[in-house]
Chains A and B, each alone.
Chain A
Amino acid sequence: MNDIKILLVDDEEDFIRTLSERLEMRDLKSNTAFDGEQAISIVNDQEPDIIILDLKMPGIDGMEVLRRVRKSYPNIQVIIQTGHGNDLDESEARQLGVFDYLKKPVDVELLVERIKAAAKAMKLKDSMAAAAFAEAGEHDTARKMMKG
């Protein structure tokens, strides 16, 4: 579990810092971004596995980040964590394929549970992809994927 790369994106810096520390206490390593642009550059540099994303942010907002991530990195699992309960946003986010849509205030235990579920789904997806590669005779790729 400790090899999952998590990116926390929220403009509330206090919240993000504390959350990051609390996740670390639970053996979850995370990086932080305080706005959309920062988030996108970190995604481009480090390609995290899971992004915890707020929607309402100055500059590039969460929804835009989500769109770009979906486009370039379809394998990254995104969990929305927002204070904005607008059901339009929720349905848009879900259409863009987010793993879950959580409404603030979110208890850290719930968040951790959803992160783990997302990681599991990701692994499952990877293993299915690996199986597909193996089937196709690309064993090297498959092995690499399983290891990753």
Chain B
Amino acid sequence: MKICSGTVSLKSLEMKSSGSYYAWQKQLFVLVVIVVSVVPLIIISWTASDYYKKSWLQKTSLELSGLAGSRKEIIDLFLNNQENLLSGFTNLYSLEYLRVQRNLEKLFRAMNKSGVIVDLGVIDHRGRHLAYVGPYKSQLADKNYAAAEWFGEVMQSGRYVSDVFSGYRNEPHFVAAVTDPAKSWILRATINSELFHSLLASAEVGPGGDAYIINRAGELQTPSLLGAKALSAEELAMLISKNGTAVRLTEKYIYATVPINKGDWTLVLKTDINTSLAEFYMARKRDMLIIAAASLIILVVAILLVRSMVNKIEEADKKRMAMNNRMRQVEKMALIGRLAASVAHEINNPLQIITTQAGWVDELLDDEDKKQLKNYDEYRDSINKIRGNVKRAGEITHRLLGFSKSNGYERKEIDLNQLIEDTAALLANEAKAHRITLRYFFEQSLMRVITDASQLQQVFLNILNNAIDAIGQDGVISISTRSNGGHIIAEFADSGPGLSPDSIKKLFDPFYTTKSPDKGTGLGLSISFSIMQRLGGDIKAENRKEGGSIFTVMLPAY
């Protein structure tokens, strides 16, 4: 559309470049929210999980060593019982009595109600097997033990318990032997150690755990629950180095050890950390899931919140920027107004002199003899041109003075619809000549407006003139009025080509025009702008989506 002068669009340019700024702000805010909420959540869960693991291990270690202690008591009690029983018999019966096969058999039967004693033998101080009750009579009847290691030990200390060995029936056994108080003969029994096995098998060491007894050399005295034939070198080194009551933690296992059988053996309970921590790992997995879900929720909420917040800020910024631009324009117009008024005044006086002098020359020419004056017609023509251009300059200065109209405007109640119709009527002929249709969409019950009708009319005239020039030939100008809150709004939409980006920027600037110099001074819209500011209203111009431009005039209602 062709226009005379404008502001509007500085802001649209500034907005574009600031789009990335707001996107960056959003990212920053979201990042901050993550750092202050999600990160602590993760740290807390991590330390809690670590603490949880440590306390779990501690608890499991305690349980394991407790278990080892209770098993030790049972085993030691059992061993003591067997030993006490044997030494009780040596006190009770004489060698002479027990070396009689029949008497020993009687004792074996009485002793072996529980079935743990496999055989029973009597050996004199020289190692001779004097009597024997048990399944290996033929093999052992005449055996001399004088050279056996255990014989020497029992003769010296009065008691002996062997390591566990597998007997002929592949049952675990061990041998217990005691001497009489005078150490003159020995009562020896082979004891089934199946009991140890069942005691250990029932120990709750968890899946992947183990329980066994080892001797001082680290040899397994009971079968490993896991079926291991021997200790690994690593375990061996660890377990026999210190065979007191202890709990050892390795990467994979917890070992609880306790000495039994007066320190000859060590009971080992071993639990698999990973399997015993399975519950913990499950709990931790669940916690992680909860934290992940919480983090996700925080993230989503943060993004939504930040987006709406930043959008609001952006909107407010846009509004403020638009307002600033508006204020800048208003200030600019006020300054231009003052400048224009003083310049116009200074120019009007010389113009007056030029036109008067030119007129004077014109009149004096009347006295001259046309025939004697060679360039008579040229003078006349020149004078007319001077006067014509003075008139043109005068029109511009008078329009410039339009900026400085200050407070002295009328305030009368007006019918805005009527005023628009009257104004449009002034241009009806021109519109008709260009085959332009004027359409009115008036709100009939418009609110009252108290304003200066003639100044407002000037604004409408400018807008309509521009619209007609913009359309050129064949088109429609739609004028609508409506009340909106405390404002009355009049909109002038034309079917012209719309405003160029440059026009939108400079539309309301004085002397900005897209028309030829003889058609427009570029002052119409800038004066309209100052008029609307004076009347407490506003004017703006936009392009319509459906093409053409739309000028909106806003006035406060009363």
Contacts and interface: CB of A to CB of B under 8 A. Distances in A.
Contacts of A19: 356
A83 B349 contact: yes
Contacts of A56: 345
Interface of B: 341, 344-349, 351-357, 359-360, 363, 387, 390-391, 393-394, 397-398, 401, 404-409
A20 B346 CA distance: 22
Nearest to A108: B359
Contact of A103 (B348, B355, B356, B363): B348
Interface in A48-99: 56, 81-88, 90-91
Given A83-B349, A87-B406, A106-B352, A21 B360 contact: yes
A18 B360 contact: yes
Contacts of B401: 85-86, 103
A14 interface: yes
Indicate the member of B352, B401, B408 with the most A CB atoms within 10 Å. B352
A82 B349 CA distance: 8
B391 A105 contact: yes
A21 B359 CA distance: 11
Task: Assign chain A's interface to a size class.
Answer: 20 to 34
B421 to A, nearest CB: 26
A47 to B, nearest CB: 26
Contacts of B355: 105-107
A58 to B, nearest CB: 13
Contacts of A86: 341, 401, 404, 406
Nearest to B401: A85
Contacts of B360: 18, 21-22
A62 to B, nearest CB: 13
24 contacts: A12-B352, A12-B353, A14-B353, A18-B360, A22-B360, A56-B345, A81-B352, A82-B348, A83-B345, A83-B348, A83-B397, A84-B345, A86-B341, A88-B406, A88-B407, A88-B408, A103-B348, A104-B351, A104-B352, A105-B391, A105-B394, A106-B355, A107-B359, A108-B359
A136 interface: no
A19 B359 CA distance: 9
Given A87-B406, A88-B407, A91-B408, A15 B344 contact: no
A103 B354 CA distance: 15
Given A12-B352, A22-B363, A85 B357 contact: no
Nearest to B361: A18
A96 to B, nearest CB: 14
Interface string A1-37: 0000000000010110011011001000000000000
